[in-house]
Copies of this chain bind each other. A is one copy, B any other.
Amino acid sequence: MSEGPFHWEDLQPGQQQTTGSVSVSEAEIIAFAQQFDPQPFHTDPGAAPKLAFGGLVASGWHTAALTMRLIVGGGLEFAGGAIGRGLEELGWPKPVRPGDTLTAVNEVLATRPLKSMATHGLVRLRTTTFNQHGETVQMMVSVVLVPRRSEAR
């Protein structure tokens, strides 16, 4: 898949794109969770070893936000910005742990024009986020509004 920024017309089912990487520290995991998901397996390194995940893990919402950072800053750049219409699927098969480095792969599943909005088209995208061991930490299928080339409208 070539370099962005992409217009809707550039996207075809089967295209794949690998993002850059991002690492996450214990302090970042705790800070995010204290603000948004204050449960001890996300915030308390002392208690976490005896809790559900056997150690401190990131909130799934932190994993999702880091994945968005990879999408926006890591290569899949849409002309004029991408607007999330919604998600069809979001799952966290394995947790993210302190020191993990994440990379995502975006794959275009489908595209279709929008009758209600001549300036944008819809893209169904699967984004799989991996840790440094190649294990899947997040699987997401999203529907995104992507700007069309103005000459094609």
Chain A residues within 8 Å of B, Cβ to Cβ: 32, 35-41, 51-52, 59-61, 64-66, 68-69, 72-73, 80-92
Name A's interface SS: mixed
The docked-state distance in angstroms from the alpha carbon of A35 to that of B22 is: 12
Contact of A86 among B72, B80, B90 (CB under 8 A): B90
Q: Does the CB pair A39–B72 fall under 8 Å?
A: yes
Give the 6 A-B residue pairs with the shortest CB-CB distance, closest first: A86-B91, A36-B65, A87-B90, A39-B81, A61-B65, A36-B69
Which of B35, B36, B90 is A90 in contact with, Cβ under 8 Å? Answer: B90
Q: Are A83 and B52 in contact (CB under 8 A)?
A: yes
Which residue of chain B is the closest to A59 with respect to CB atoms?
Answer: B68
A89 to B86: give the CA distance in the assembly, Å. Answer: 8
A132 CB to closest chain B CB (Å) equals 20
Contact A37 B69 (CB under 8 A): yes
Q: Which residue from chain B places its CB closest to the CB of A82 in the assembled complex?
A: B39
Chain B residues with Cβ below 8 Å from A92 are 84, 86
- A40-B86 contact given A35-B69, A61-B65, A68-B59, CB 8 Å threshold: no
Complex alpha-carbon distance, A41 and B73, angstroms? 15
Report yes or no: A84 in contact with B60, Cβ–Cβ below 8 A.
yes
